[in-house]
Amino acid sequence: MGYEEVIHVLGDFGRYQKRIYFLLCLPAILCAFHKLANVFLIAEPHQRCRLPFETKDALYHQNESFFKQYYPYDSANEKYSECKVILDNQTQKCSDYIYDHSVYGYTAVIEWDLTCSKTYLVATGNSLFMFGVMLGSIIFGQLSDRYGRKLIFFISLILQVSSGILASVAPEFWSFTFARMIIGASTSGVFLVAYVIALEMVSANKRPIAGTVCQMFFSVGYMLTAVFAIYIDNWRTLQLALSLPGLCFLCYWWFIPESVRWLLSKNRIEEAKELIQHAAKQNGVHVTDDLLNGMLINEIEKSEDSEEKESSVLDIFRYPQLRKRALIIFFDWFACNITYYGLSWSTNNLGGNPYINFVLSGLVELPAYTFLILVLNRWGRKKVQCGCMIVAGMALLSSLIISADQYYFTVVAAMIGKLAVTSAYGTIYIFSTEQFPTVIRNAGLGACSTCARVGSVLAPYINVLNKIWHPLPLVIFGIITLVGGMLSLMLPETLNRKLPETMEEGEKFGQKKTGTDSMEEEPMNNIKA
């Protein structure tokens, strides 16, 4: 008997698990604040060169003849130049700017003039934030395995709040960017560790729903970020307002238990038994000591004999079929991540009201995740993964035939692409988990996460290309996701298939043979953040 059977005895998703699960989902809202806040913190408003006869308090808005007299017309983007001015019949670069405060208020771009020749600094700041997310997923993931989920969750939370406050008082751009990079690293510790604790408390057949609903809380935080930004028009106050709610979660120390699975892996038997008995009491069930002792001995022997500890992700490349599938999966993670964050961070560039665009971008994630709950166990992972990536690619590429003045069609295309890539992103977590053999599964997912973060690091630089040609970022994201969807057609379906345990089984997995390959197994097994 193993711990999964004990969870069934406790209740697959009993009252106790539901209460703790709900509490662990709430920090996802906070992490969404920090991951998406840069859309408004360092939003680039419209600006124009300040003319020699104007004061710094001059208004941005002027009549058409004024712009025509002093500013060259940018025919590629169909607007007057924001970085050049005509003085003495000569076109010159701006030395000072007048900004439009009517949309975003006072942003970090305005405070530090991060525009025109300095636009790359905005992209660099966003990239360094996601670089922090990547480092955090590696560092805090390892620390949580060594020192416990609960301790690392609270260390990450304290780090997130403190660095968030420091970012709000940063005196210049690089200290602000460094503080934001620390925030990015801490979001991995807060979200991923909470996600793991939540999923380790429920049975395998409940993990897909539990994991998907947790992502929905992130989407709620996504939309709430825009609400904060609408009512707070100063970037420093906004940064502080998004950081301070983290203090509320410090009380979790008295409510959130340590992961029983982690305690078992560290041979802390008595603590694990106490938590199991407490959960049983809360759920109104009785678990005997004999049942617990039998389960715990089994789990200890399993952890001691596990082959997974001796495996390396490099072992994947020794097997031709595994290597091919792994490279496709790595590219899919890269494609989903670069497109997801590229679209999330580019809502200001779509035209129309940027706050409405941002809320819509978060809102479409809810039907995307609901769609996954309904179809993943019916249609299979492969059809959903390929179909969603292809639909996302085609929707984004449709921006090629949309004129600049029809921005509402661009918004619709981007939202369809966002919905589809969100579904693809949710599927790839499960699909890739089931593709890798058990002995290499965790290492494989770690490599997938790294490839994903490379995509999010590059996404800000892709978005900057809209300065050259407005639809260019959408076109690039569309091509990447379309290629990923086509490549995914070469992956084997995993729904109701016996998942590979060894490297040899992984090499043969998906080949049309009679025997164990056709055996059914509980779907969506072994999901881990």
CATH of the domain at 325: 1.20.1250.20
- DSSP class per residue in 496-526: T-PPP-SHHHHHHTTS--SSGGG----SS-S
Residue 127 tokens read as 């990239």
Q: How far apart are CA 156 and CA 153, in angstroms?
A: 5
pLDDT at 295: 61
pLDDT at 276: 81
Pair (297, 380) in one structural domain: no
Of 67, 82, 100, the residue that ends a domain is 100
Q: What is the end-to-end Cα distance of the chain in Å, rounded?
A: 25
Pair (266, 391) in one structural domain: no
For residue 349, the SS3 value is helix
Q: What is the mean pLDDT of each run of 10 residues along the chain (529 residues)?
A: 66 82 92 94 92 88 89 78 88 90 93 91 92 88 82 94 97 96 92 81 75 89 95 96 95 88 77 82 77 63 50 74 89 94 85 88 92 86 92 91 75 91 87 76 75 90 84 92 94 79 77 48 37
- DSSP class per residue in 385-409: HHHHHHHHHHHHHGGGGS-TT-HHH
Q: How far apart are CA 482 and CA 386, in angstroms?
A: 9
Pair (87, 113) in one structural domain: no
Pair (144, 267) in one structural domain: yes
Q: How far apart are CA 275 and CA 524, in angstroms?
A: 26
Pair (392, 495) in one structural domain: yes
Pair (56, 35) in one structural domain: no
Pair (484, 395) in one structural domain: yes
pLDDT at 291: 67
Count of structural domains, the chain? 3
pLDDT at 244: 96
Domain span including residue 80: 47-100
Picking from 126, 98, 123, 67, the residue whose alpha carbon sits closest to that of residue 466 is 123
